[in-house]
A and B are shown apart, each in its own frame.
Chain A
Amino acid sequence: MIMNWVALIPALPALSFVVLLPLSRAMRKRLLWLPPSAMAASAALSLAAFVRTWPGGHHEEPVWSIAWALGHVGGRPLELGLALDPVAAATLVVVTIVATCVQIYSLGYMHRDEREGWYFAVLSLFTAAMLALVLSDNLLLTFAMWEMMGLCSYLLIGFWYELEGPRKASQKAFLTTRVGDLGFLVALFAIWANAGTFELAEVLHGAGEWAPGAALVVSLGLLWAAMGKSAQIPLHVWLPDAMAGPTPASALIHAATMVAAGVFVVARTLPIFEHAPGVLTAMMVVGAATALAAGLMAAVQHDIKKVLAYSTVSQLGLMFVALGAGSAVAALFHLTTHAFFKSLLFLGAGVIIHAAHTQDMREMGGLARHMPVTTATFTIGSLALAGVFPLAGFFSKDEIVTVLLHEHHYVTVGFVLLASGLTAFYVTRLWFRVFSGPEQAEELHEAHRSMLGPMTLLAAITLVAGFAGPTYAEFLGHEGKWPEVTVALISTLVAAVGIGAGWWFYGGRSKVVNTRVWKQRLGYFYDALVQKLYFDLTYDTLFIKGYFRASEGASAFDAHVVDGVVNGAGTAWVATANGAHAFDQGVVDGAVNGVADASKGIGGLFRRLQTGRLQNYQRLVVGAVVVLMLIVIVSRGA
């Protein structure tokens, strides 16, 4: 049965972008209802698609697929295609739900901004690109959508381009992710060289017979690209700065979708990585390091959105660890749960910022009393993040820990637990700073219904989603099982320790907490964290300033040296001409004229008949004749 309506899922949001693009600002404002409704329709279709692919499980043919030829190169067709298989169906649902919530939320959040139309257009384009990536069964299409998302994140981060901050952040984001994309390009070239096609199924199928180094190159390339997109160390620097964009955009892009795309693509192409085991371990190391470092940095941030940003980086680190351990399911499940509660937290943060008119947590406090719904939903989100029992976070994190234990990566388990503890700590720190303690802002009031609705929906899902773990695994074709009791106990203990520490430092206090006392005690370790481990500093001086100087040098070199050299040849020719001319006028002529002038004595009349210049010409002519004669005779004679 032809399910071509599946193609509508990405097409609808794309359509709303195309409709909104040519319109004027006023017209866009009137059509503001279009993007969210398109998104909702797409969500409905995704659910329908999910139902149609139920019970899922692992089998060869995708439920639905469509392919079309993009071009012919060297006679071979270059095909692009979409396919619906369990992994795609599940992720579609997650993405569309979160996107719909964000769009509805944004109606309230952005309504005062006069370029609101443009915001919704780009948001829809972004979602279309993400959905197309999820459905894509062709690596070239994946790459295309990958870069399209990069563009949309550039436009969204730089939405308020009048200000210096967003402008710099958007450029930094685009360029850093593009550094990652170079890896993707190289991977594509290697795949085309070896497999001759970008069709995912064929590529995975043939991965075994590739040339020796090829699998390594491809997997390294894909890893590097995923690190760029999912902001892993050392390419994570752009995500915290990306908070300069509108919060709902950050919620969608930097929590649920784009950053997750890296994990999604690696999960899709995991069979290739199996042919290059070294890369898997590398991925695990990167994941673990990022989880820990980001967690530490999140603990010292004062900007609420930056805390959440670093928390996302840390959670993505965990997903990379899961992928490194070879379990795509654990990573995807964590990706799903994380999408829900992190977007919830971001939307909540949006409300908090609106209420407190600041992003700096030190100027917030006592919001709990005035914003009950926000506090409730935010608390559910925080607890889920911390990994507290009934919530989704707990189950997905435990699954990662169980996979690690199963694969005997005990060192990594230590890292993960430490990171979870840290997560719990900075979540509670955030909670207490924002909700408890003295109120520092006047008339705190609850957000508008349209903003709270999505948050409550997401909170509800976060409550329920945890229990869907095993069914989720079976849906994807892996045998699903509940995490062992021991693992559950350990992780709850770790969470409790984290929350306890958080409460001890920041909880139950009347006045604003000062952290100066801790700064002395931790000393330069604290400063390092505040300086974001000097990554930004080194990148600025090393790469950015270095590139400026290099290009200044190249431009000067080009303008003076290369130009000079090539022009020089021309001017040299003219110079010799002038030289010869001067010689001809001065020397040859002068000598003879000199003689003529000397003889002026015999009256000006004869001067007229003087043949000064002529003499030298005749001499030159006769001289030439004689020389030629000598040449002829000598050559003949010899």
Chain B
Amino acid sequence: MTGYGLLIPELLVLVGVAWALFASALPGRDRGAAIAGAALAAVACAAVVVQPAGEALFGGALAFDSTARFARAGTAALSAVWLLWTAARGQGRTREATALALFATLGAMLMSAATDLVTLVLAIELATMPAYVLMGYRRERVEGLEGALKYFLLSLLTSLVMMYGLSFLYGVTGTTRMAGFDLSGAGVLGLLAVLLAFVGLFAKLSAAPFHYWAPDAYEGAEPWTVAFVSTAPKVAGAVAFVRLLASVAATAPVVSTIVLVAAVASMVLGNLAALTQTDVRRMMAYSGVAHTGYLMLAAAGAGAAGYAAAVFYAFAYAVPSLGMMLLVAEEGVLVEDFAGAFSRRPAAVWGAVVMLASLIGIPPLVGFFGKLTLFQAALGAGFAPWVVVAVLTSVVSAAYYLRIVRASFFGEPVAERAPLAPSVAGSVAVAMCVGATLALGLAAGPLLGWLGTAIR
């Protein structure tokens, strides 16, 4: 099944998009579209898993190595879960959201396989374009739109800077294929090109000091849309980041220092700011920044182990935080809204505890193994002091994650809340996230094995 058969998962997602666009004509309208989308995404994920690693396509533009397959499967799975939840709990007209989400998934899947600058840029755009719309999905809520506008303008600025950097990168190396970069002779311009290129990627992954858009955008947007935007593209983003880093790191060592600076800044700033948040969306935004910091700490190690750890960690972050955001969408955006949640929905709250524990890094959950391999790579690269910073900040992260747990277990419910309409599919989606957090923790072996050391 070599050759263009490799693209079947992408095609399936495309079919999902089409279905969503013509949903009004197809059975089930919004709900049908979401369910179909979820099913197709799930099948796509299965297809990726089944396919063996194929050789590059389109003259090296798309490489289907194990890291790409891991990211494509992960992205498809995440969006499948999200779509399942939307099908159950989505209010109002959600078929456009389904379409846009699937577009973004497609973009992310391509992004993770792209080994050509042009393809990469286009895939990134395809992944982020729908995100702008999803952020401002509720047309009637002006704050939502304003948040989306801010996000859009800042994101456009950073992607233009990235494109400017990539243009220099192409200019200096003469080729757009990532494999072939040799910046040793390029002098200052080469470094500048790399720096500008990474600015865009930093912004996409919401790493400090380019993370400013995330808290405001998350706060303005609908929690269920934020759930998708903040998690699904992250894995692919990490792969793209790592792939570009790998291609330039050898010949431009300064880049790993830049990445290291950004990593430490993200860890400290992210955790520090999250401590004081009362809106869970802003808290998860800042925690996203912090986790990107951890991820980049491993990538900065510029070793095969570091890259694999970074990508695995992105997935280990994405799964629980998707579950948490979906819970936020159900329970309410403020920490107080979680008060007394345990008496209302014990199972869901237990799920939240598991997911938050994984974000903190409590074993035997997937977050712990993510952090373990990550610290191992970072220590291997001699970043002992920075690992200490990472370790301290993850203790701080325990402080603010626990606030949610404390509220849901011991808080007194402020206002009498109408019990949420029980929905099987909704809780199944959350349950899948919780299950994945637990199972992947115990079965970290095969996952890490699958990731292997594709990226040198």
**Chain A contact residues, CB within 8 Å of chain B:** 570, 573-574, 576-578, 580-581, 584, 608, 611, 613-614, 617-618, 620-622, 624-625, 628-629, 632-633, 635-637
Contact = CB atoms under 8 A, between A and B. Distances in A.
A636 B258 CA distance: 13
A578 B276 contact: yes
B432 interface: no
Nearest to B190: A636
A484 B161 CA distance: 118
Nearest to A610: B146
Given A577-B272, A620-B209, A632 B153 contact: no
Interface stretch (B90-98, B195-203, B371-379): B195-203
A635 B275 CA distance: 35
Interface string B205-241: 0000110110010000000000000000000000000
B203 A621 contact: yes
24 contacts: A573-B275, A573-B396, A574-B275, A576-B272, A577-B276, A584-B273, A611-B149, A614-B149, A614-B153, A614-B154, A617-B213, A617-B216, A620-B209, A621-B158, A621-B199, A622-B157, A624-B210, A625-B196, A632-B192, A632-B195, A632-B254, A636-B187, A636-B188, A636-B191
List 3 A-B pairs, minimum CB-CB distance, nearest first: A577-B275, A617-B212, A624-B209
Contact of B254 (A613, A636, A637): A636
A637 B210 contact: no
A622 B158 CA distance: 9
Contacts of A578: 275-276
B216 A613 contact: yes
A617 B153 CA distance: 10
B275 A629 contact: no
Contact of B273 (A577, A608, A613): A577
Contacts of B213: 617
A622 B188 CA distance: 19
Contacts of B195: 625, 628-629, 632
B161 A625 contact: yes
The majority secondary structure among interface residues of chain B is: helix
A137 B153 CA distance: 93
B138 interface: no
A611 B213 CA distance: 13
B29 interface: no
A573 B394 CA distance: 13
Given A632-B191, A632-B254, 13 more contacts: A573-B272, A574-B275, A581-B276, A608-B142, A611-B150, A614-B153, A617-B213, A621-B158, A625-B196, A625-B199, A629-B195, A632-B188, A632-B192
Nearest to B153: A614
A637 B187 CA distance: 9
Contacts of A622: 157
A617 to B, nearest CB: 4
A407 B289 CA distance: 90
Contact of A621 (B142, B146, B154, B273): B154
A570 B396 CA distance: 9
Interface in B136-152: 142, 146, 149-150
Contacts of B196: 625, 629
A574 B395 CA distance: 12
A578 B192 CA distance: 36
Contacts of A618: 153-154, 157
Contact of B188 (A570, A581, A613, A637): A637
Nearest to B196: A625
Nearest to A612: B150
Nearest to A570: B399
B257 to A, nearest CB: 9
B118 to A, nearest CB: 23
Contacts of A574: 275-276, 399
A608 B141 CA distance: 12
Contacts of B192: 629, 632-633
Given A621-B212, A624-B209, A613 B258 contact: no
Contacts of B157: 618, 621-622
A578 B274 CA distance: 10
B167 to A, nearest CB: 15
Interface string B168-212: 000000000000000000011001100110010001000001101
Contacts of B210: 621, 624
Contacts of B154: 614, 617-618, 621
Contacts of B258: 628, 632
Contacts of A633: 188, 191-192
B156 to A, nearest CB: 10
Interface string B320-364: 000000000000000000000000000000000000000000000
Candidate in A570, A608, A625 with the most chain B CB atoms within 10 angstroms: A625
Interface string B58-89: 00000000000000000000000000000000
